[in-house]
Amino acid sequence: MRLNRQNSGTRWRVRPDGPEKVSGALTYLTDMTAPGMLYGTVLRSPHPHAAIRTIRKDAALRADGVAAVLTCHDVPGLNRFGIARQDQPVFCEERVRYVGDAVAAVAAETRELAELALALIEVEYELLPVLDDPERSLAPEAPALHPEGNVLHEAAFADGDIEAAFAGCAHIVEETYRTPRQMHAYMETEGGLFVPEPDGRLTVYAPTQHGLMDRLQLSRILALPEERIRVVSSPIGGSFGGKDELNVQPYGALLALATGRPVKIHNSRRESVRSGLKRHPMVLRMKTGIGQDGRIAAHQVRITADTGPYATLGAEVLNFATEHVIGTYAFGAVDVASRSVFTNNGMSGEFRGFGGNQAIFALEGQMDRLAEAAGLDPWTFRELNLKPAADGTGPFGQPIAKTDGAERVWAALRDSRLWRERAAGAAGVGNDAGQPPNSLKPWLLTGIGAAMVMHGAGLGFGIPDPSGGRLTFRKDGRIEAAFGFEECGQGLIATLEQMMVERLGLAGSDVRIVIGDTDAVPNSGSSTASRATTMMWKSLELLREPFADLVLAAAGQAAGAGPELLRLGEGGVRWRSTGDMAVAYADLAATLAEPIVCEAAVHYPTSGTERVGAHYLYSHAAVAVKVEINRLTGRVRVLDQYHVVAAGPVMNPQGYLGQIEGGSSMALGYALLEEAVMEGGQYVTKNLDTYLVPTIADQSGAVEVLPIEDLPEGDEHGPRGIGEIGSIGLAPAIASAVKHAAGRWINRLPIDPALLQEAFPIRRLEAMNDEG
């Protein structure tokens, strides 16, 4: 059933944090101030690659209102950070490797004085050769950016005799796909407030996707026990992966401890662009062959990712892309080799979809080309080559949780109105591109395309992926759900509240959600990898019965009845037989000497394999779009979207729809508009005035979402997160629709209007003459 307000009935609820957000009343962490607060700023390298000869900070220290000027010599602990690999310097010592590298930091009475002090810090650089392209970094004469060389990580997978398989193919398609450096473009740029407490502890108010991981990293840098650091990390004004790594936290923390005063740092947009993470640009070369029967016999892929100057999660992103360029198809032989390369370009890192967006864009483009070579409808071709559900293996042949999601989303999309419309055109109703011409505006073409998405959730085998949660019946009669996840804007609080209401039988007013405070929450792991919904659901599964037993036992004593006669309900414990109130929660709490507490610890499901990063749980989606191409401008406009998503039961209809629509909007920018252009290691795109993101005008077409909620019999893993899957399939679907409308293959993103203008030089003139 189509997901919308009407079909969701009473499950369509106002999210708890919604009114404050839409009214602008919500105080984000970067809105906070404190008495006696200083302002922090960071001096960053203007050069993409240079040796540091000297740093002189005396003049800055003498400047009015300056409380501290810090460099690498002022870091008491590890002068490095990074979730997976600690290779990014807090402050550079001898060399800078990109234009955002930090060299020094200042705390001053005002933001303006801090900026003036930065200008007084004298840094003598010796310029070094700039490696602004992975191929240049891989050249034998290239200087090494790190002691281990310029390759961060390599991954490979092979199965079968690839050369023999190609030798037997009837058709072989070769293509190179290029994907752009995309900004997260969150509304709230990186920032925070850092407060030294009277008891010697440090409180960090800074938005992040994993407060406990931030605390661990800060403890290394500050040489402080973790217990002496408190990280408050929610709410977040958007992240999409961009705030999973540390950003301003080391500088704010160091300055606060050095001055003994609260320090606030909040990046300008320009500073955010220069120093922040971006989606990895990738080049994906594919060679794929099919036999006479249309089945894929051989699939060879080479991936090169530009990871920028430091590791961040570049290795993990590459592993994910390596897995997803194989996807959910059955190949006779596979040969994938990939590498992630250090350069002097901007920082690449975690981004919604985690390497799957690049991989699926290329893979689905390849499927369309192969279908054409085989003379088959692209959907028929995919169906022919889909790995059967009974296979029970993932891309690397690893055991996975049984899923028929791919088959079901495929079938649903084939039945959709958009695909029926395309089929009607292909049957001869329309023009040469399969669509009826617009007689009033002959310069407009329309086309319909589609794509298939497979997405692995969780961190994958071999990577610690623990989680858990805690339920507490408090003295005020509220039932508190505490999780270590963060509210990044994705609706986690609303989903958790809805789970509590529906799974425990409570009212929303009975529940208090506690997240985003390392002093108050258990370790639930990171709010990433589409894992939070599954982990919250699993934790509540484990907690529900023991927690209810303890509350009902206490209620039985208060009501003078056996607990088997009672159940949890709205507002209090109720009689199981009639539903009437037995004892209100507030009255029950007054009888308790101590709160009732239950805690659960779980681990995200992993595959029985030895391959690091291989996934066990997969979700599937199919996306169809209708686009309009203006022959005169080359601009593409999306008119209609249809998403089918197989990710298990819908926990929060409003949040589910919002995630698919929001992911689709982000993908619209990825497909048609967004690229953070760099030249010579410098950002050409320095701010949002030259970086176009979709507006509501671009997102004007219909977006229909059909969830497939059934899981295979015996599946005990519950709902899968859908925070990423909606952002993946739109770009290849648009590229497919452009080919359908204009007959032009697209092999790079964003789709350049000039490319489509070139496709119609004669028709353009005809159209203009008709107008004149």
Token look-up 């669509």 returns 435
Q: In what order do the strands lie in the sheet with 66-70?
A: 66-70, 102-108, 38-44, 263-266, 191-196, 202-205, 229-232
First to last CA, the chain: 48
> pLDDT value at position 759?
73
Tens digit of pLDDT for each residue in 27-37?
999 999 999 99
The answer to whether residues 635 and 753 touch, using CB atoms and an 8 Å cutoff, is yes
> pLDDT value at position 637?
96
Tens digit of pLDDT for each residue in 304-357?
999 999 999 999 999 999 999 999 999 999 999 999 999 999 999 999 999 999
Across residues 182-211, what is the average pLDDT?
97
**H or E element in which residue 768 lies:** helix 761-771
Whether pLDDT at 687 is above 60? yes
Across residues 150-166, what is the average pLDDT?
98
Q: Which of 29-38, 232-241, 300-309, 416-425 has the lowest mean pLDDT?
A: 416-425
Intrachain domains 29-128+187-238+243-276 and 466-603 with the same fold: no
Count of Cβ atoms closer than 10 Å to residue 160 Cβ: 15
Task: Please report which confidence band the pLDDT of residue 443 belongs to, taking 50, 70 and 90 as the band edges.
Answer: confident
Tens digit of pLDDT for each residue in 94-135?
999 999 999 999 999 999 999 999 999 999 999 999 999 999
Closest listed residue to residue 297, CA positions, set 161, 391, 146: 161
The answer to whether residues 126 and 53 touch, using CB atoms and an 8 Å cutoff, is yes
Please state which architecture CATH assigns to domain 466-603. 2-Layer Sandwich (3.30)
Task: Please report which confidence band the pLDDT of residue 434 belongs to, taking 50, 70 and 90 as the band edges.
Answer: very low
Amino acid present at 575: W
**Averaged pLDDT of the chain:** 94
Q: CA 393 to CA 447: how far, in whole Å? A: 35
Within 13 Å of residue 313, how many CA atoms lie on the same side as its CB? 27
Task: Please report which confidence band the pLDDT of residue 431 belongs to, taking 50, 70 and 90 as the band edges.
Answer: very low
Distance, C-alpha 114 to centroid of its chain: 34
Helix (H, G, I), strand (E, B) or coil at 540: helix
Count of Cβ atoms closer than 10 Å to residue 577 Cβ: 9
Q: Mention every residue, 6+ apart, whose C-beta is less than 8 A from residue 33.
A: 193, 264
Using the CB atoms, write b or e for 137-151: b if 16+ within 10 Å: bbeeebeebeeeebe
Amino acid present at 28: Y
Tens digit of pLDDT for each residue in 604-651?
999 999 999 999 999 999 999 999 999 999 999 999 999 999 999 999
Percent of the chain with pLDDT over 90: 92
Task: Please report which confidence band the pLDDT of residue 199 belongs to, taking 50, 70 and 90 as the band edges.
Answer: very high
Q: Mention every residue, 6+ apart, whose C-beta is less than 8 A from residue 235.
A: 17, 26, 28, 29, 207, 487, 489, 516
Whether pLDDT at 375 is above 60? yes
Across residues 49-64, what is the average pLDDT?
97
Token look-up 């085998």 returns 461
Across residues 166-175, what is the average pLDDT?
98
| pTM (global) more than 0.85 | yes
The answer to whether residues 156 and 337 touch, using CB atoms and an 8 Å cutoff, is yes
Q: CA 671 to CA 694: how far, in whole Å? A: 10
The answer to whether residues 678 and 345 touch, using CB atoms and an 8 Å cutoff, is yes
Closest listed residue to residue 336, CA positions, set 383, 377, 286, 282: 286
Tens digit of pLDDT for each residue in 736-750?
999 999 999 999 999
> pLDDT value at position 436?
52
Tens digit of pLDDT for each residue in 515-556?
999 999 999 999 999 999 999 999 999 999 999 999 999 999
> pLDDT value at position 438?
59
Q: CA 739 to CA 430: how far, in whole Å? A: 15
Q: CA 349 to CA 245: how far, in whole Å? A: 9
The answer to whether residues 665 and 15 touch, using CB atoms and an 8 Å cutoff, is no
Pairing of β 278-279 and β 702-708: unpaired
> pLDDT value at position 426?
60
> pLDDT value at position 678?
97
Pairing of β 229-232 and β 348-349: unpaired
Tens digit of pLDDT for each residue in 688-698?
999 999 999 99
Across residues 406-435, what is the average pLDDT?
77
Residue ranges of E strands in 604-669? 617-630, 636-646
Tens digit of pLDDT for each residue in 37-50?
999 999 999 999 99
Task: Please report which confidence band the pLDDT of residue 472 belongs to, taking 50, 70 and 90 as the band edges.
Answer: very high
Whether pLDDT at 432 is above 50? no
Domain 29-128+187-238+243-276, CATH among 3.90.1170.50, 3.30.70.120, 3.40.50.20, 3.40.640.10: 3.90.1170.50
> pLDDT value at position 428?
42
Residue 417 to residues 130, 298, 376, 625: CA-CA distances in angstroms?
52, 33, 20, 11
**H or E element in which residue 417 lies:** helix 417-424
Across residues 157-181, what is the average pLDDT?
98
Return the domain boundaries, the chain. 29-128+187-238+243-276, 279-460+610-756, 466-603
Closest listed residue to residue 89, CA positions, set 42, 57, 53: 42
Positive or negative CA dihedral for 8, 11, 17, 23?
positive
Across residues 751-769, what is the average pLDDT?
69
Q: CA 30 to CA 236: how far, in whole Å? A: 9
> pLDDT value at position 757?
85
**H or E element in which residue 359 lies:** helix 356-374
**Tokens encoding 481:** 């759900």
Supply the angle between the helices 492-504 and 532-559 in degrees, to the nearest 10: 40
3-state per-residue secondary structure call for 488-523: CCCCHHHHHHHHHHHHHCCCHHHEEEECCECCCCCC
Count of Cβ atoms closer than 10 Å to residue 591 Cβ: 11
Positive or negative CA dihedral for 280, 281, 287, 293?
positive
Token look-up 């009114």 returns 19
Q: CA 622 to CA 68: how far, in whole Å? A: 55
Task: Please report which confidence band the pLDDT of residue 480 belongs to, taking 50, 70 and 90 as the band edges.
Answer: very high
The phi and psi torsions of 679 (rounded to 5 degrees) equal -140, 125
Closest listed residue to residue 352, CA positions, set 249, 270, 280: 280
Tens digit of pLDDT for each residue in 385-395?
999 988 899 99
**H or E element in which residue 467 lies:** strand 466-473
Task: Please report which confidence band the pLDDT of residue 427 belongs to, taking 50, 70 and 90 as the band edges.
Answer: very low
> pLDDT value at position 758?
78
Whether pLDDT at 765 is above 90? no
Task: Please report which confidence band the pLDDT of residue 439 belongs to, taking 50, 70 and 90 as the band edges.
Answer: low
Domain 279-460+610-756: CATH class, spelled out:
alpha beta
Does residue 222 or residue 771 have the better pLDDT? Answer: 222
3-state per-residue secondary structure call for 259-322: HCCCEEEECCHHHHHHHCCEECCEEEEEEEEECCCCCEEEEEEEEEEEEECCCCCHHHHHHHHH
Whether pLDDT at 767 is above 80? no
Whether residue 750 has a cis bond before it, omega within 30° of 0:
yes
DSSP secondary structure letter of residue 11 = G
Compute the chain's Rg from CA coordinates: 28
Q: In what order do the strands lie in the sheet with 617-630?
A: 444-457, 617-630, 636-646, 702-708
Token look-up 């009639």 returns 578
> pLDDT value at position 437?
55
